[in-house]
Structure 1
Amino acid sequence: PFASFPAAVAGTSSFQLKDAFPAAHAVTVPRTFDHSFCWIDIMNITQQPPLAGVRNARTYAALNDITAKHGALVRMKTVPAHVAIALVCAGLIPAHNARAADSAAPSADPQTHDSANGVANDQESASQALPPVVVTGTHGSSYEAQNSDSTTQTNTPLKDYSASIQVVPSEVLQDRGVTRIDQIADNVSGVHAEANYGGNGATFFNIRGFSESNGLRDGFRNYGYYAFRDVQNIDRVEVFKGPAGALYGGIGAVGGYINTVSKRPERDNFGEVDVTAGTYGLVRSTLDVNRVLNDELSFRLNASVESNSTFRDNAAYRSWSVAPAITWDNHRGTSVTLLTEYNHLNRDGFDFGVPAVPNYQDLSRTRYYGLHDGVYPGVQGDYGRNDTFSETVLFEQALSANWKLRLSGQYAYARQLSTQSFPDSTTAVGNLLDYSVYSGANEFSRQYTARAELVGDFYTGSFKHSLLAGLDYGYLKLGNGGSQVSNMTLDLFNPDYVSGLTPGDPLPGHQSQGKDYGAYVQDLVELTPQIKLQLGMRADRF
């Protein structure tokens, strides 16, 4: 069972068998090792229970007087498959040299004999000299992010920031093949995705037990109920856990918020086209192209097109997006970035899930419980059309080596056209359940946001300060263009039964709007390299 051992050099060497020994077996110690003291080590190399009488056992074998042609036999007990056996020898001399020395005629002159041995030993040492080996190690790639500029608004390392912030970088999104924003919840502790508004692809999350539907886009507050956004133009997702009123005011997220950061132009030329296919008829193509136009201008374009279905019957999705971006940087402290993004989603059905009736567990998981096309002549079934447009400008001016001024603004518009049907109650009469149908619904949101910030570092004595001071303004307008309300009845166990579609009174449209002004300041004080104090304050007027 022993493979042939290489010639060993003086010192202590250990050779471990590659193959496990079967039941009671004789271990053959090769003749390679002469004039040595050797022993056998028996080691438990897996997480199996210890072996009574075997673990750390040693069988010693003095090999100095071994003259057998095939070596010595060391009898072992039964050895399970998860036990390794090693031969350990100290003070080894290569067998061929030992045999040559034994066969040499003794010299009558001890001095001559010693001299000959010295020459032989010198030649042996010279023949065994090995060249130096240089091993160079480098850090492998990592998903770990060191900073979160868009969320904290400063260049403070995450390890120094007094809040729990987790960043999901683009490498994770790409390596996982993420196609929907809600899939990032799988990578973040304390966060899970919630059911969105009829399957419209909006970003609804639950963070530390609190629902969060607004979130941030490139650091700006974003009304999220209708705002479908494709993941193709997302560079990273930053998750802030805990309240953040000192920075963002009344964002309405007690447990935290999600900040999606757009891809920016880079100082490199590259391009990438991806095609993805999957279950439920998923076919998706994406484009990412970056070009350096001159010494100061860079341009980047991201686009996507997707078609897929779901496990629900009569449900399908088709979407596309385009997101150009351009950056001007004079490399003397002044830069301007313009980000544009348009997303479109067209879906058949407006899926609210399975009706919440007492016997919901008996209902089909694949049936769509709503109004289908073709049920009533001239009546369109449930559907949803979402369009999202945003324009963001980012300006940065370095005032000195330690101070810079940032001016930024964003315009965001989202619209949803739909026909929706959903149960009037949670109680069915037999198998029949009454539904309300809202047809021709037109919902929209429009936002304007502006911000000015001063960021810098300074010292008071031996204490270092990282200061952020800013002003912001936000305007939000929400509206509903009205819809026609009808009634119908569904049989929960007969998909073909729909009756009583009775037109009702139309709902009048309505609009609401709000403004807010805010001022905030944040100071991170480094008392020692290990102790840091963060102070923050904000005032808002609505």
Structure 2
Amino acid sequence: MRAAALASALPLAIALACSPAAAEVEADTPAEEEREAITVTGVRQSYRGDFALKEIPQAIATIDEAVIEENNILRLTDALDLNASVVRQNTLGGLWDSFAVRGFTGDENLPSGYLVNGFNAGRGFSGQRDVAGIERVEVLKGPAAAVLGRGEPGGSINLVTKQAELGRTFGTASLQYRSFDTVRAEGDANVALTGNLTARLIGYAESEDTFRDTVEQKRWGFLPSIGLGIGNTRLTYDFEWTRVEVPFDRGIVVLNEDFDTVPRSRFLGEPSDGDTVARATGHQLRLQHDFSDRWSLLVGASHRDTLLTGASSDAETVRSRQKLYIDGRSLSRQRRTRRYTSEHSVLRAEISGEFETGALRHRVLIGGDFDYFDTDQFFTRYRGPVVTPTTTDQAGYLLDLQNPVYGRYPVPATAPITNRLDVQRTMGAYVQDQISLTDRLQIRVGGRFDDFLLRVDNRLTNMLGRRKRSRFSPQAGIVYEVSDPVSLYVAYGEGYRANIGADANGNVFEPETSKSVEAGVKLSALGGRLTGTLAVYQLEKSNVLATDTLNPGFSIAIGKARSRGVELDLNGKLPGDVDVLLSYAYTDAEARSRVLDPNFSFQIEPGDPLINIPDHNLNVQASKRFTLDNRHVLLGAGVQYVSKRNGETGTDFTLPAHTLVRLFGQVEVADGVELFGSVTNLFDDHWYANSYSPVWVQPGSPRTATIGLRATF
């Protein structure tokens, strides 16, 4: 059925791509003076158009490969910490990526979606994404759903991968060791097979003991890219093959606001549960054809399969079933097994170009896409009874927090709780026109139409739910260039995103809708070496989902939510050749509806803060390159501050603020060989990455040191 749907959608995408209005798309968003750096071997970027950053009525922040490498970052989650608009959310025991942009996340019971080279590709159960193979991370903030489609109103994350560079041969290889017996090897080789055919082979392997007792993990990946150039046409194929093996780990418990209830290293599951395995296999094929220097066509397809399977022993979240609240040391636990799979297929096409009507210059994007996503979830659980004087420790599957004895009781038998197939199918078309009214004034208008179908097949109840909707999402923006270094902008957009699944009672969720407005100032100073954006915004959402803390694995609709705030991003080089990165965000995100669960009296009031969203978030770093004894040296330091934030939906449980300091450096020890190192959490602060409830709190890593060698050729 899906193959037939894909086939039927392809003519629509191609037809949209071949419409007469068009505008050029660049691989980056370069300023005029930067265009000389772009070569014909580059790959153009979807959705963006031929615009300098200061012309775009939207805040965009980029975390490039150099910054990721300097900080010795291994995971996407850690890379996103460098931008203050993005904050961590519940990661399912560290087994998926989950984040909020400008205070809003999606369904907390699914991984956060992101784009890969412009394709919706982040959904699924593939484990936390490794940064190997990533050239840069783009944080596309604000009301961009009119073009991107199906994203959060706070913004979208786009990963631009390292792709085969035609006609060149080069490579790097590295080996590093870090605290907790972590060993990692990584390689990247770009090999020109002929003048027009190049293969880029990227791979990594990692083994880690971790700071958590009994928790070890292994991960590896192979991420090759093949590039073929024929005249003005380029064909690129990317492959993804990754695997993660790690015990499911819900973190620590916090009793009566005491974050020292147990050491941050204490594992509260069962080592005999073994590893939870997450794996992904993905394909992405893109064709780029330049009709001229003003017209370009992009057509592509992607497909990705993921699997997450394993067992865990998790702290019981319902107070009446939790003995910990009676004696202060006996943790009642659930036993769970899960097997989650997903398939995600995308077809998309876009034509872009520019033309004039009289004195007006038009830069236009016209495109269409087809998105098919299914997720099959089979989840079983054992839950102990309500605690009474006669409840046995075995019935509660207890673990003594002060003196844990693993394997004390037989593994309890579980029963199916979820056995459900969710299928989402969306077809969309979009158009955007940015019109230059004068040399300094531009307006952007556009919109997107989506036709959406969600089918929920609940095998436990033999019920089939279905919801079909369509919607038009408009956007508009104005950009005014005050002077060469300063421009002002304002933008408005509406969004539309499917809420996958059903609540604990089997009700299929209505789609989420949103409205966004933002205004800002963009700076390009010191000859373009220092760029920045100051933005203010307000976002409103309806049909918002939040975690149902009394029915883990399910969500509840809390109605409306609002986020508003102020952001500042600066990036570039100061006099004295000091590289700086500064990102600050003030975020006020809250529920705007009253929700009462009649069974458990679970209450959300208007004004309640959204979970895991700090009011203040700051990241700043500085680094300098210099020469010592004819060898290249880099030294740098950074600080991240995260203010206190809510740790459980609908309650007053709060995670404390934290400040983390990091140092990093590189030194050339021989031609083509450098020694690198870093220390994160320099002062060994006790911090907490995210929380679901007081008995599911994820502690952050203690002081961690890294040292390694990297060779280039």
Instruction: Give TM-score, length-normalised by structure 2.
Output: 0.52
Task: Return the letter of the residue paired with 1:398.
Answer: D
Partner residue in 1 for 2:192 = 292
Partner residue in 2 for 1:531 = 441
Partner residue in 2 for 1:469 = 366
Distance in 1 of aligned mates of 2:413 and 2:331: 17
Distance in 2 of aligned mates of 1:500 and 1:292: 58
Partner residue in 1 for 2:208 = 308
TM-fit CA distance, 1:357:
3.7
Distance in 2 of aligned mates of 1:510 and 1:368: 34
TM-fit CA distance, 1:367:
4.0
Equivalent of residue 120 in structure 2, options 214, 221, 226: 221
Task: Return the letter of the residue paired with 1:402.
Answer: R
Kindly report which structure 2 residues correspond to 1:511-522, keeping only aligned pairs within 5 A, or say none: 511-522=421-432
Contact 1:449 1:475 in 2 (8 A): yes
Kindly report which structure 2 residues correspond to 1:262-281, keeping only aligned pairs within 5 A, or say none: 262-267=161-166, 268-281=168-181
Q: Which has the larger radius of gyration?
A: 1
Task: Return the letter of the residue paired with 1:541.
Answer: D
Partner residue in 2 for 1:364 = 262
Equivalent of residue 60 in structure 2, options 165, 169, 187: 165
TM-fit CA distance, 1:464:
1.2
Task: Return the letter of the residue paired with 1:493.
Answer: Q
Equivalent of residue 249 in structure 1, options 134, 149, 153: 149
1:211 matched to 2:77? The reply is no
Distance in 2 of aligned mates of 1:179 and 1:223: 17
Distance in 2 of aligned mates of 1:227 and 1:468: 32
1:188 matched to 2:98? The reply is no
1:246-283 deviation digits (Å, cap 9, x = unpaired): 012222x1211211111111131102111111111111
Please state whether the residue corresponding to 2:126 is helix, strand or coil: coil
Distance in 2 of aligned mates of 1:541 and 1:512: 17
Equivalent of residue 343 in structure 2, options 427, 446, 468: 446
1:145-172 deviation digits (Å, cap 9, x = unpaired): 9999636432322111110011111111
Task: Return the letter of the residue paired with 2:426.
Answer: D
Distance in 2 of aligned mates of 1:475 and 1:355: 39
Quick one: structure 1 residues 406 and 417, their matched pair in 2 at CA, closer, same or farther if it must change by over 3 Å? same
TM-fit CA distance, 1:220:
1.4
| 5+ residue gaps, structure 2 | 1-33, 107-111, 385-396, 453-713
Quick one: structure 1 residues 281 and 529, their matched pair in 2 at CA, closer, same or farther if it must change by over 3 Å? farther
Quick one: structure 1 residues 150 and 193, their matched pair in 2 at CA, closer, same or farther if it must change by over 3 Å? farther
Quick one: structure 1 residues 168 and 391, their matched pair in 2 at CA, closer, same or farther if it must change by over 3 Å? same
Equivalent of residue 406 in structure 1, options 274, 298, 313: 298
Distance in 1 of aligned mates of 2:303 and 2:439: 41
Distance in 2 of aligned mates of 1:155 and 1:203: 31
Partner residue in 2 for 1:121 = none
Contact 1:485 1:507 in 2 (8 A): no
TM-fit CA distance, 1:358:
2.6
Partner residue in 1 for 2:402 = 493
Quick one: structure 1 residues 150 and 449, their matched pair in 2 at CA, closer, same or farther if it must change by over 3 Å? same
TM-fit CA distance, 1:359:
4.9
Quick one: structure 1 residues 367 and 183, their matched pair in 2 at CA, closer, same or farther if it must change by over 3 Å? closer
Partner residue in 1 for 2:690 = none
Q: Counting strand residues as a fraction of each chain, which structure ranks higher?
A: 2
Kindly report which structure 2 residues correspond to 1:40-79, keeping only aligned pairs within 5 A, or say none: none
Contact 1:434 1:490 in 2 (8 A): yes
Please state whether the residue corresponding to 2:285 is helix, strand or coil: strand
| 5+ residue gaps, structure 1 | 1-141, 374-379
1:343 matched to 2:242? The reply is yes
Instruction: Give TM-score, length-normalised by structure 1.
Output: 0.68
Equivalent of residue 140 in structure 2, options 240, 243, 265: 240
Please state whether the residue corresponding to 1:503 is helix, strand or coil: coil
Task: Return the letter of the residue paired with 1:473.
Answer: F
TM-fit CA distance, 1:316:
1.1
Q: Bigger relative contact order, structure 1 or 2, given CA contacts below 8 A and separation 6+?
A: 2
Distance in 2 of aligned mates of 1:273 and 1:396: 30
More displaced stretch, 441-450 vs 380-389? 380-389
Kindly report which structure 2 residues correspond to 1:68-217, keeping only aligned pairs within 5 A, or say none: 150=45, 152-200=47-95, 202-211=96-105, 213-217=112-116
Partner residue in 2 for 1:45 = none
Contact 1:486 1:502 in 2 (8 A): no
TM-fit CA distance, 1:404:
1.7
1:114-160 deviation digits (Å, cap 9, x = unpaired): xxxxxxxxxxxxxxxxxxxxxxxxxxxx9xx9999636432322111
Distance in 1 of aligned mates of 2:263 and 2:124: 25
Runs of 4+ in 1 over 4 A off after TM superposition: 145-149, 497-501
Distance in 1 of aligned mates of 2:81 and 2:316: 34
Partner residue in 1 for 2:158 = 259
1:271-307 deviation digits (Å, cap 9, x = unpaired): 2111111111111110000011112111100000011
TM-fit CA distance, 1:338:
0.4
Task: Return the letter of the residue paired with 2:182.
Answer: L
Task: Return the letter of the residue paired with 2:100.
Answer: N
1:389 matched to 2:285? The reply is no
Equivalent of residue 328 in structure 1, options 222, 228, 235: 228
TM-fit CA distance, 1:501:
4.4
TM-fit CA distance, 1:240:
0.8
Partner residue in 1 for 2:252 = 354
Quick one: structure 1 residues 504 and 178, their matched pair in 2 at CA, closer, same or farther if it must change by over 3 Å? closer
Distance in 2 of aligned mates of 1:506 and 1:190: 39
Contact 2:343 2:375 in 1 (8 A): yes
Quick one: structure 1 residues 148 and 288, their matched pair in 2 at CA, closer, same or farther if it must change by over 3 Å? closer
Please state whether the residue corresponding to 2:67 is helix, strand or coil: helix
Aligned length: 388
TM-fit CA distance, 1:366:
3.0
Over the matched positions of the two proteins, sequence identity in percent amounts to 26
